Structure 1
Amino acid sequence: MKPPHHIRIGTPGAPKVAFGHGWGRTHRDFIPVAEALAPLIDAYLFDLPGFGKSERPGDAWGTVEYADYMARHMADDLGFDLCTWVGHSLGGRIGLRLARRSPGLIERLIIVAGAGVPREISGWEKYKRKRRSNQFQKLKAQAKNEAELIELEKKFGSIDYVASRESGMRDIFTATVNEDQTNELSGIIVPTTLIYGAQDTDTPPEVGRKIAHGIPGARYVEMPFLDHISILDRGRHQIALAIKEGLPVTASDEGTAA
């Protein structure tokens, strides 16, 4: 498999910051943040394998495989020593794995609307989901052709689930979306900031608070009015601030503060 596509923005020799996007998206989501911090960081904005200009994995990778692959690529191919990982949604899931499995590479973690732990679901909601799933499976068995199956998926499935068929990523989608990293969180020892939008229905604040509770010393930030995607643009200043807060203090910074 070819190395994943990336663009580089910033100042060579400055602290390295790696950006991992969400499902169905690309490196472009983080360009405004990287450009705003260009004098202070050496930013690598990746198209994760299977997205954008990057070749998809040959197997149905979960986030463990994604994390191990990205760690090897950053360390062995790109010469990373230490870096900050900034991950949105799927990139956040991968970031949790990276921080747990490669603490010698990841020195700081910033999760933006990331998942990785199950949502709290009421008994009534569980019943409705099970009923809907049974209905889908019954109609799926009756589908006469692929066109009818696709229409059923559009009716019953999420936007990402439907799109995963068209992109040839269905196996990877189902492998990653159902993972539960709850028991791994306590082993994350790097400084971690979690940023979530109050109006996010894909990864709602309860998910962020649960992850923050599981990671020792993690800081949780909730932004009013923002959802799963608007947090990338309208919330970009908070993301940039979280990155900047973790950078080493230089002599010029100390002089300015004085």
Structure 2
Amino acid sequence: MRRIWRCKKGDMKPPHHIRIGTPGAPKVAFGHGWDRSHRDFIPVAEALAPLVDAYLFDLPGFGKSERPDDAWGTVEYADYMARHMVDQLGFDLCTWVGHSLGGRIGLRLGRRSGGLIERLVIVAGAGIPRQTSKWEQLKRKRSSAKFQRLKANAKDEAELIELERKFGSVDYVHSRETGMRDIFTATVTEDQSADLARIMMPTTLIYGAEDRDTPPEIGRKIASLVPNASYVEVPFCDHISILDRGRHQIALAIKEGLPKGAPTAADLAEAKP
């Protein structure tokens, strides 16, 4: 029985995507990270083109895709993308490959997709709190209190922006410029820990050893909570370079998860009358 997706978006346009690969081959959907686009996964999709039918999406609010009217969290993103893939693109089963924000959405899809997702490849994805010492927690609490105090006394928008640059992350600061602050806050503060044990499909987690945004400890923790998960750590890679220097690991994880005997481009070409 097909799940009825709960996300209602009225006249919102479908998300932009490009398609690379072999029609009829196993489908692979790619979801990029925060403030990125479908372009991040083009090298991986091109490397696997004879083996997969790849859809590279600009997630709503990024690239060429329209931003949602509301402050979406990953639940809304997952429901919308699942409904779009099933109802408008005709997906049956697919592998979801997600980097950073796309990884957070992938974990939601794994829990909520009603049989659509048969495998997950999560690249530098978060979704659970970082482990911090009591001292680090105290420093953050003090910094946040100072920011809120100074923010309340800011004389104008220019002063407020300068405070955000001093106290906030690059993505937090830029989210004001792109009009995505509400969605940024909604997605980065989520904790999916309670749902991870319910993700039943095979899941590969790939993290860069030098990632400071989503450190390896996050990947290892997620791997310990997802029943059928494997963890891969790529040396010398950070949060973004994992997409380039680690692209062979990403491609390998996708390839290893393809159904045995899945048709290649050559097989499909021979089958044509």
TM over 0.5: yes
Q: Using structure 2 for the length normalisation, give the TM-score.
A: 0.91
Number of the residue aligned with 2:236? 225
Match of 1:52 among 43, 63, 68: 63
- Which residue does 1:134 correspond to in 2? 145
Deviation at 1:252, TM superposition (A): 8.9
SS of the counterpart of 1:8? strand
**C-alpha separation between the residues in 2 aligned to 1:50 and 1:251?**
34
Shift of 1:142: 1.3
Matched, 1:106 2:117: yes
TM value normalised by structure 1: 0.97
For the residue of structure 1 that corresponds to 2:127, the secondary structure is coil
**1:83 is matched with which residue: 67, 74, 94?**
94
Q: Distance in 2 between matches of 1:21 and 1:98?
A: 14
What is the aligned partner in structure 1 of residue 77 from structure 2? 66
Q: C-alpha displacement at 1:250, in angstroms?
A: 2.5
Query: Which residue is 1:13 aligned to?
Result: 24
Alpha-carbon offset, residue 125 of structure 1: 0.1
Q: Which runs of 5+ in 2 are unaligned?
A: 1-11, 265-273
Deviations 1:199-241 (A, max 9, x none): 0000000000010000002000011111000000000000000
SS in 2 for 1:187: coil
Contact 1:109 1:193 in 2 (8 A): yes
Q: 1:185 is aligned with what amino acid?
A: L
Q: Which amino acid aligns with 1:90?
A: L
Aligned partners of 1:110, 1:247: CA distance in 2, in Å?
Answer: 12
Aligned pair partner of 1:246 in 249, 252, 257: 257
Is residue 180 of structure 1 aligned with residue 208 of structure 2?
Answer: no
User: Separation in 1 of the partners of 2:140 and 2:110?
Assistant: 33
**2:130 maps to 1:119:** yes
Is contact 1:103–1:190 with CA below 8 Å preserved after alignment? no
Q: Could you tell me whether the CA contact under 8 Å between 2:203 and 2:228 is conserved in 1?
A: yes
- Alignment coverage as a number of residue pairs: 253
Aligned-residue offset at 1:251: 8.4
| Letter of the 2:140 counterpart | R
Q: Which runs of 5+ in 1 are unaligned?
A: 254-258
Counterpart code for 2:31: G
- Aligned partner (choices 94, 104, 115) of residue 105 of structure 2: 94
Report Cα offsets for 1:58-111 as digits up to 9, x if no partner: 000000000000000000000000000000000000000001001410000000
Q: Which residue type is aligned with residue 82 of structure 1?
A: L
Contact map agreement 2:31 2:103 (CA 8 A) in 1: yes
Aligned-pair CA distance for 1:249: 2.4
SS of 2:54 mapped into structure 1: strand
The code of the aligned residue for 1:88 comes to: H
Letter of the 1:157 counterpart = G
Contact 2:25 2:262 in 1 (8 A): no
**Deviation of the 1:248 alpha carbon:** 2.0
* C-alpha separation in 2, matches of 1:165 and 1:94: 22
